[in-house]
Amino acid sequence: MIPFIGLASGVGAGDPRCGKGPLFLKEYLSLNADWRAMILPRPEIQEPLKQIELLNRELAEASADLTREETFFISIGGDHSCGVGMWSGVASALRPKGDLGLLWIDAHMDSHTPETSESGNIHGMPLAALLGRGDPSLTQIGDPYPKIKPENVVLIGIRSFETGEEEFLKSLNVRIYFMSEIRERGLDVVMKEALQTIAARTAGIGVSFDLDSIDPSFASAVGTPVPGGIHPDEILSTLSLLEAFPLLAFELVEYIPSLDQDLQSFHIIQKLLHCLSSSAASIPKQLELLLERNLGHSGPS
């Protein structure tokens, strides 16, 4: 069975209903899943940033434990602020063997800081925090170092962003595949290129998948829909590419069940997670081989 963990919180989003997504999926997904943890909100903590910090620290512990087991696992989040805890835990546990590579598949850059964000919503800040920029309560989860090097993260599907976060990522030379390039070259070409690039210099790869990366005409049950996104068939057809790479974990976020009246979004999620689960048997051996090749990597630089 595939290990699953969840964080059922929407505190970091403008629409907190996404916090119900993990609970809904745990109950109704038809998967052979081993749910190791379901982290729940702490309503007694009134300050949002403090609650998000504590929830993410708990998630980081769970993801670090599973990373040390060297088995592929899936995380289901509410809003994308959970990406801080998820990948901080993975990166910290992986660090003795090498660096983490990360595909960030999303309509948005999620690279604001408190200074550049107009809304103040923390689900727009997780990637910046993982790169070491933002509130210390988020950047130092797991260990005090940046969790990802700029050259080891790739953004895919971007089509909605603000100047502050774009300038930040460009200053670090982070590779961004906008939807215009994906339309021109094809998602399969882009995914293969991105995976090959980051696999060459990391000890393992993670995928953070925001449901709003898919065009809302197919998956509308999200809080921040943006037209012109990825077709679900494109995503499903490229998942097989992951089998050739050392995939550590997959994160899915921002699903709002109450907006999914026809369950169209749910069925896409079900297909996506079924594909990942069916290919997971080949992942541990590939991870083992890559880690052997990267034993010389250690600690942040």
Catalytic residue among 61, 80, 234, 260: 80
Catalytic residue among 165, 212, 215, 251: 212
Phi, psi of 120 (to 5 degrees): 80, 5
Catalytic residue among 53, 58, 61, 210: 210
User: Do 159 and 212 meet the contact criterion of CB atoms below 8 Å apart?
Assistant: no
Mark whether 254 is an active-site residue.
yes
Strand partners, 34: 3
Q: Residue 224 carries which DSSP code?
A: S
Mark whether 297 is an active-site residue.
no
Q: Residue 301 carries which DSSP code?
A: -
- What does each C-alpha distance from 236 to 43, 67, 269 come to in angstroms? 37, 25, 10
Nearest to 126 by CA among 109, 143, 107, 142: 109
Q: What residues contact 163, with CB distance under 8 A and at least 6 apart? A: none
Catalytic residue among 61, 99, 112, 123: 123
Distance CA(234)–CA(90), nearest Å, equals 27
Catalytic residue among 58, 215, 251, 254: 254
Mark whether 108 is an active-site residue.
yes
User: Do 213 and 257 meet the contact criterion of CB atoms below 8 Å apart?
Assistant: no
Question: Which tokens is 134 given?
Answer: 């933002």
Mark whether 188 is an active-site residue.
no
Catalytic residue among 110, 165, 215, 251: 110
Catalytic residue among 108, 112, 165, 215: 108
Catalytic residue among 61, 106, 215, 251: 106
Q: Where are the beta strands (DSSP E) in 32-126?
A: 33-39, 73-77, 100-105
Distance CA(269)–CA(251), nearest Å, equals 12
Q: Which residues are catalytic?
A: 80, 106, 108, 110, 123, 210, 212, 254
